Amino acid sequence: MNPKRTFRYYCLKFIRLKGDPKSLARGTAIGTFLGITPTIPFHTVSVLFVTFITRTSTIAGFLATLVVCNPLTYIPQYYLSTILGNMLTPYDFNWERVKSVLDVLLSKPGFSESMKVLSELGSEAVIVLLVGGSVLALPFSIASYFLSLRLFIKVREKRRKKHYLT
């Protein structure tokens, strides 16, 4: 797949969105925020729920989520989320902890001990990743709101001028 062509495709999809520029920009910001947070299996449901509650553009939210959350961005997003989450929470989520849990699980302990070890690591990992991901996503979502608002206002003005000329 050609990256230039893919980029152009998503740009055209954004430009062709119709509706109130503020609603479209809010949907874009919501999609950007949720796309950057490490909640990959829940992106679609989250975008649907939040855009419905805030009465913003769901399609803009989906497109923004697709743009910011893709196989090229997973690793940097999770890495930065882990670093930020470790700085902002009292937990220390690192590879050594994950490896120690894997060693315990590979030693074939009882079911209750396995669940205890997994739940301890799981809750800390979720907290670290969500806090770090939210802090990471906030500036990007604010920037995407203002940039997309400007884009949608310009597109709307261009459509009006074109409509008046014909």
Q: What is the per-residue pLDDT across 50-91, written as a single tens digit (0 to 9) for each?
A: 999 999 999 999 999 988 988 888 889 988 998 999 999 998
Give me the number of domains the chain comprises: 1
Query: How far, in Å, are 48, 61, 69, 105, 148 from residue 55 at the CA level?
Result: 10, 11, 23, 46, 17
Interaxial angle between packed helices 58-68 and 21-36, expressed in degrees from 0 to 180 and rounded to the nearest 10:
40
Cβ neighbourhood burial of 128 (10 Å; 0-12, 13-18, 19+) = buried
C-alpha of 46 from chain center: 10
Most confident of 54-58, 125-129, 155-159: 54-58
Q: Which two tokens stand for residue 95?
A: 């590879």
The domain in which residue 153 lies consists of 3-165
Q: What is the per-residue pLDDT across 134-155, written as a single tens digit (0 to 9) for each?
A: 999 999 999 999 999 999 999 9
**pLDDT grade, residue 12 (50/70/90)?**
confident
